[in-house]
Amino acid sequence: MARNASLSGYLEFLPTERLTELHVLDTLRHVFEIHGFSSLETRAVETMDTLLQKGEIDKEIYAVSRIHQDERAGKEAKLALRFDNTVPFARYVTENAGHLAFPFRRYQIQKVWRGERPQAGRFREFSQADIDIVGDGALPFRCDVEIAVVMARALEALPIGDFTLRVNNRKLSEGFYRTIGINDTAAVLRIVDKLEKIGPDRVAQELIDTLGASPRQAQSALDLAQIRTVDGSFAAKVRELVGEDVTALLNEGLTELSELMSELNARVPGRAVADLSIARGLDYYTGTVIETTLHGHEELGSVCSGGRYESLASKGKRVFPGVGLSIGVTRLLSALLNSGELAASRSVPTVVYVTLRSAEDWGAAQDIADKLRSRGISAEVALSAEKFGKQIKYADRRGIPFVWFTDDDGRHEVKDIRSGEQSEAHPSHWAPPAEDLNPQIIRKTENL
């Protein structure tokens, strides 16, 4: 996949890579749908005001305008391409609340656009896959649990290798910071969120310089961030740090994270770790926060992230709390394709290439192909009656595994051009081996 692009930041897959992408998208759809999530697609454009209300990302937004403006242009709302699926989803919920049954469960797989500087793993146009559960006024915590379990199962179903869900709870973190005397919890969460990028020393110094924290408070914040457990034992470690002074908010966070870890270990064992360094810098997260590390590709950062939000979507006094996670599909795929870890077994869906003995045989060859297609076997027909050697070479270049021949007496034979084996066949009942019916996505573990 390492090819020069004519326009940087915009990825175009070759056919074999596109087959891999489609397999990933179809797998995600299947897992989401068997867990009861409905498919949703929102428009590509939103008003600039809608996109800017939930974050300071104005420099990354692509504005949309017409080449030929008219006198009404100044009165119309400024439009821009969506930079994620969450903000458009919040707008969709508020506009369509009267037509939705809550809790509303949706998945959304669409392109998004960001005006970032293109670099390895970062694109200006890319696909994201989101799942969310949104309530009307209230949303049970068990929805946090379900979202995490479903996403873990979706990632397990993909041929991506080992991964870990790193989970935390903002209530736990905020309660702890207040307990040690730091009240600007939103600011400290944003600083702690930089821990893996800038290291503990610079995080501590920034807490001191920016928030006026004492060295002891900064060290306590780092002590919390260093807690990582594969079970519920993190709770005891947190209590050791604060002693008897456990606030209601801290206790609520401990309880929720303990329940989440317990359910994850029961339903997707070995996939989660309680990592109290996870903060998620966006202010709208209010409880559960999750980031996902792909083993062997830690340089990608989080390939799947999200969490709980209480008021991302609202309409007057009506509030729609929710919880959601998002996979950066393009980011994930580009890394695995570039490393050679993922590949399709062939570059086309075609299983059989039906050859021609003469130009007049084209109609009969189409009849053969249609019989195969009626039984779910992908087939295509030669366009001209070239020498059989050329027709076979063409099929081989296309990656088609089988070539079909019909003689003057109407007898049929099919050849596996990989092995050279050729045998009698009939379009009404011949079928390829199950593994050849559709392209297979191969994960080459020897490259890991």
Whether residue 313 lies inside any domain: the answer is yes
Whether residue 70 lies inside any domain: the answer is no
Same domain for 327 and 359, yes or no, is no
Q: Which domain holds residue 108?
A: 15-44+88-344
Same domain for 207 and 153, yes or no, is yes
Q: Is 280 known as a binding-site position?
A: yes
3-class SS string, 122-165: ECCEEEEEEEEEECCCCCCCHHHHHHHHHHHHHHHHCCCCCEEE
Please state the rounded mean pLDDT for residues 3-30. Answer: 90
Confidence band, pLDDT 50/70/90 cuts, at residue 312:
confident
Same domain for 256 and 205, yes or no, is yes
Q: Is pLDDT of 367 > 90?
A: yes
Beta strands (DSSP E) in 242-301 are: 272-275, 285-294
Q: Is 85 known as a binding-site position?
A: yes
- Final residue in a domain of this structure, among 344, 368, 387: 344
Q: What is the pTM of this model?
A: 0.91
The reported pLDDT for the residue numbered 84 is: 92
- Final residue in a domain of this structure, among 293, 326, 344: 344
Whether residue 364 lies inside any domain: the answer is yes
Q: Is pLDDT of 447 > 50?
A: no
pLDDT digits (tens, 9 = 90+) for 411-435: 999 999 999 999 999 999 999 999 9
**DSSP secondary structure string for all residues of 320-331:** EEEEEEEEEHHH
The reported pLDDT for the residue numbered 68 is: 75
Question: In this prediction, what percent of the chain has a pLDDT beyond 70?
Answer: 95
Q: Is 128 known as a binding-site position?
A: yes
Domain harbouring 182, CATH code: 3.30.930.10
Whether residue 117 lies inside any domain: the answer is yes
Domain count, the chain: 2
Same domain for 155 and 275, yes or no, is yes
Please state the rounded mean pLDDT for residues 51-64. Answer: 74
- Final residue in a domain of this structure, among 323, 344, 365: 344
Q: Is 284 known as a binding-site position?
A: yes
Whether residue 68 lies inside any domain: the answer is no
Q: Is pLDDT of 2 > 60?
A: no
Q: Which of 260, 165, 285, 176 is nearest to 225 (CA)?
A: 176
The reported pLDDT for the residue numbered 402 is: 98
Average pLDDT, the chain: 92
Q: Which of the residue ranges 41-45, 179-183, 280-284, 322-326 would you say has the lowest mean pLDDT?
A: 280-284
Q: Is 42 known as a binding-site position?
A: no
Same domain for 287 and 414, yes or no, is no
Please state the rounded mean pLDDT for residues 28-54. Answer: 93
The b/e string for 174-207 (b: 16+ C-beta within 10 A; e otherwise) is: bbbbbbbebeebebbbbbbbebbeeebeebbebb
Please state the rounded mean pLDDT for residues 406-411. Answer: 92
The reported pLDDT for the residue numbered 53 is: 76
Same domain for 254 and 278, yes or no, is yes
Same domain for 374 and 307, yes or no, is no
Same domain for 332 and 246, yes or no, is yes
Confidence band, pLDDT 50/70/90 cuts, at residue 189:
confident
Q: Is pLDDT of 28 > 50?
A: yes
Q: Which of 151, 188, 148 is nearest to 168 (CA)?
A: 148
Q: Is pLDDT of 445 > 80?
A: no
**DSSP secondary structure string for all residues of 68-111:** S--TTGGGSPPEEE-S-SHHHHHHHHHHHGGG-PSSEEEEEEEE
Same domain for 305 and 246, yes or no, is yes
Ranges of H-type helices in 158-247: 170-179, 185-192, 195-198, 200-211, 215-225, 234-242
pLDDT digits (tens, 9 = 90+) for 122-179: 899 999 999 999 999 999 999 999 999 999 999 999 999 999 999 999 999 999 999 9
> For the CA atoms of the chain, what is the radius of gyration?
27
The reported pLDDT for the residue numbered 259 is: 98
Same domain for 34 and 123, yes or no, is yes
Please state the rounded mean pLDDT for residues 327-340. Answer: 93
Domain harbouring 357, CATH code: 3.40.50.800
Q: Is 114 known as a binding-site position?
A: yes
Whether residue 279 lies inside any domain: the answer is yes
Strands 163-169 and 272-275: parallel
Q: Is 132 known as a binding-site position?
A: yes
The reported pLDDT for the residue numbered 244 is: 82
Same domain for 98 and 234, yes or no, is yes
Whether residue 62 lies inside any domain: the answer is no
Whether residue 75 lies inside any domain: the answer is no
Same domain for 327 and 272, yes or no, is yes
Q: Which of the residue ranges 54-58, 237-241, 428-432 would you say has the lowest mean pLDDT?
A: 54-58
Q: Is pLDDT of 448 > 50?
A: no
pLDDT digits (tens, 9 = 90+) for 67-119: 876 666 566 788 999 999 999 999 999 999 999 999 999 999 999 999 888 77
Q: Is 144 known as a binding-site position?
A: no
